[in-house]
Amino acid sequence: MSTRNTTTAVVGGPVVQLPTPLGTFAAQAWSDPANGTEHMSVSAPAPAGYEAEPPLVRLHSECLTGDVFGSYRCDCGEQLEYALARIQEQGGTLVYLRGHEGRGIGLANKLAAYALQEGGADTVEANEQLGLPVDSRDYAAAADILHQLGLSSIRLLSNNPLKHHHLSRHGIEVVAMVATEVAPRMENLRYLQTKRDRMNHSLSLPTTTPTEGPNE
């Protein structure tokens, strides 16, 4: 759980160009003096036709297994790629939030929860068995970064109504929620069902058997 003082501003560094396979982004690091956490924002300008739209914003919680290794146990890696592609296409910002690993419980605890899931628990039950909160993510730093980037009225790329709620509480106006559905897989179907059924995510999941392994 974050203990950051809301009066302490997150400090932004210089803006640099970040060329990626999905396009070039303007990247900036943000240090939270309250807890030493370093976040990063990546932004792309709105192309012709999207200038009048509120910018797309994705708050992406760090997930080492999904983002770096492309694990199919969750959909984080695919969500990250999907969000970056939409931001290139329509203009906006992705804030990559460190310290959000495993919805805030950390990498070691997340893998301990995976071990319990292999024994039959779902995401929520596994955290409960470990005596850990199901979701302890804090969005004060994210809201602060958005304010400093001048993004106080946004379209939020998310299926999670809690993120909308947290941002509103921190003074960010969410004018629309934009769904980020990626195709479910055999390996993450139960994870996605738990998100939908126990964590209020807006997801429409198929009744047919989804893809196993890479789509490519």
Query: What is the contact surface with Zn ion in residues (CB under 5 A)?
Result: 63, 66, 74, 76
Contact 187, 72 (CB under 8 A): yes
**Where in the sequence numbering do the catalytic residues fall?**
135, 137
CA–CA distances in Å: residue 36 to residues 4, 8, 29, 96: 10, 12, 12, 15
CA–CA distances in Å: residue 90 to residues 68, 113, 202: 25, 37, 22
Compute the least distance from the CB of residue 78 to Zn ion, in Å.
Answer: 10
Compute the least distance from the CB of residue 101 to Zn ion, in Å.
Answer: 9
Compute the least distance from the CB of residue 61 to Zn ion, in Å.
Answer: 8
Pairing of strands 153-157, 92-97: unpaired
Residue 68 phi, psi dihedral angles, 5° rounding: -90, -45
Task: Choose between 66 and 91: whose C-beta lies nearer to Zn ion.
Answer: 66
Compute the least distance from the CB of residue 15 to Zn ion, in Å.
Answer: 28
Q: Residues 211, 157, 17, 34: is their CA dihedral positive or negative?
A: negative
Which are the contacts of 127, defined by CB distance < 8 A and separation ≥ 6? 103, 105, 113, 133, 134
Task: Choose between 101 and 144: whose C-beta lies nearer to Zn ion.
Answer: 101
Task: Choose between 50 and 82: whose C-beta lies nearer to Zn ion.
Answer: 82
Task: Choose between 66 and 104: whose C-beta lies nearer to Zn ion.
Answer: 66
* Sole residue written with tokens 């910018």: 55
Task: Choose between 68 and 179: whose C-beta lies nearer to Zn ion.
Answer: 68
Reported in sequence order, the residue ranges of the chain that DSSP labels E, i.e. its strands, are: 11-12, 16-20, 23-31, 38-44, 56-61, 92-97, 153-157, 173-178
